[in-house]
Amino acid sequence: MKKGNLMIMLLLVLAYLFLLLFQRETGMQALTAAGGYLKEMILVIPGITLLMGLFEVWIPKESTQKYLGEGSGLKGFFLAFLFGTAPTGPLYIAFPIARQLLAKGARVANVVVFLGAWAALKIPQILMEAKFLGMSFTLTRFSLTLLAVLAIGYLMERILKYRKVTF
């Protein structure tokens, strides 16, 4: 583990200890929340990494490039969007998938669209939202967020290219 990460971990442990000693209720609340998320992660991660491993050996770089890379155009965007809206769990498991897509030759804009759709435009989430906040709120947010995600994707691709960041 890198030094910086070790520091963060140490600080986290200290924060928990401090809370548990001096703010018992808040500390327990934090610990319970962390436990819940830990359970969820432990459950999801083996499945996701298995899919990633299979993807790595079976899907050739050329096909990722062709369908999600430069020149994949509107179809590539659409595929990335569809891929992201599938009901597939919390955002943090999308990061390693995004990394793999980039490594396999997908363009940055499409990967950002994928992440954005995963985070903000997931179908089950939309249904929940419509139930609690109403159809017009949900549809307006959905359309505006879709436009925003596209804009963020293109902006990021431009900026990262300009700054010569490679993946």
Contacts (CB under 8 A) with another protein, residues 56-95: 56-58, 87-89, 91-92, 95
Closest approach of another protein to the CB of residue 91, in Å: 6
Residues 93-112 touching another protein, rule: CB under 8 A, are: 95-96, 98-99, 102, 112
- Find the Cα–Cα–Cα–Cα dihedral 145, 146, 151, 152, rounded to 10°: 60
Closest approach of another protein to the CB of residue 11, in Å: 9
Closest approach of another protein to the CB of residue 63, in Å: 16
162 is an interface residue for another protein by CB under 8 A: no
CB 89 within 8 A of CB 101: no
**Closer CB to another protein, residue 16 or residue 67?**
16
